[in-house]
Amino acid sequence: MKNSLKLLFVLTIVFLFTSCSRGSIGCPDGDIEWIHAVKIKDVKYEHDFPDPHDQVELNIVQGDVIGEVSYKMADDACSYYKMKNGDATYLEEWTPIYSIKDTPISLAVLANDQVFVVEQNTKAKTVGEYYPIQDLVKNIHIESTLDGRRLHTFSEASTDIFLDEWLALPLQDREQLAKDNKDDGKSIFLEIELSNGITFRETYWRDNKTFHVGAVGTERLAETIEKEYSLIHE
C-alpha cells in the first residue's frame, strides 16, 4: 500500500512538472503575441511575412522531411516558456517540417507552405556560419525603417564587398551588443534577397557598426553601407 502511494505521489509530481513545463496549468498567463517560429535540430527559425509592396516571387522546391511539430505553444504555453526542439508557436502539432532544395537546412526550412529563416543558432561562430548564403544572394536592399519599402539596391560591386566582409565577421554576444544600441533614428534595415526569392532582414546600427545578428562591422563594410545609403532618393 505504501509503495502504491509513493508511486502515485511520484507520478503526480512528474505530471505536474511536465504540465507546467509545457504550459497546461495556469497557462497561458496573459494575452501573448508569439512570433511565428519553429525550432528543430537546435536551430530556431522565424517566418518573415513579406511587405505587401514587395514583389516577392518564391522559386523554391520542397525537400525531404526533417522533422515535425510536437508542441504548439499558442494558447497553451506561458510567457516564460523556452522553446525546445519540435516546438512551434502557431504551427499545429504533427505538421511536417521540410528542407528546401539547394538551401542549407541551417539557413531555412519549409512548413505549411511557409518559409522559416534562421533566427537563433548558438553553434554558429561567424555570420557566414549563421547565414550560409555564399553564392545564393541576388540583391541587397536598403528598406525604410517606417514601412519596410525598398528604398535602394546595392550595386554589384558593393554587394560583393559587403558579403566578403560581413560573412567573415565573428559573432559576439547579441544581447550585450543590443544594449549599446539606441533607437535614435540611426539604424538601417538591410534586406538580403536570395536567388530563389527567400528574403530576410538585418538591422544595422550606424553609430556602433553593429548588426542584429550579433556582429561588429569593419571600416570597409561601414564605408560600403554608408556609400549606398547616401544614394537613396525617397
Please write the tens of the pLDDT for every residue from 101-132. Answer: 999 999 999 999 999 999 999 999 999 999 99
Q: Is the pLDDT of residue 13 over 60?
A: no
Mean model confidence pLDDT for the chain: 87
Question: pLDDT for 22-47, tens place per residue?
Answer: 555 678 766 778 899 999 999 999 99
Q: Determine how many CB atoms are found less than 10 A away from the CB of residue 150.
A: 17
* Residue 4 pLDDT level (bands cut at 50, 70, 90): very low
Position 6 scores a pLDDT of: 45
pLDDT band at 192 (very low <50, low <70, confident <90, very high): very high
Higher pLDDT, 11 or 181: 181
**Exposed (0-12), middle (13-18) or buried (19+): which is 8, by Cβ within 10 Å?**
exposed
The string of pLDDT tens digits covering residues 148-172 is 999 999 999 999 999 999 999 999 9
- Would you state the cell numbers that stand for residue 48, as one nine-digit string? 518573415
Q: Are strands 210-211 and 199-205 parallel, antiparallel or unpaired?
A: antiparallel
The burial of 70, by beta-carbon neighbours within 10 Å (0-12 exposed, 13-18 middle, 19 or more buried), is given as: middle
Say if CB 85 and CB 65 are below 8 A apart: no
* Residue type present at position 34: W
- Which three cell numbers mark 53? 509592396
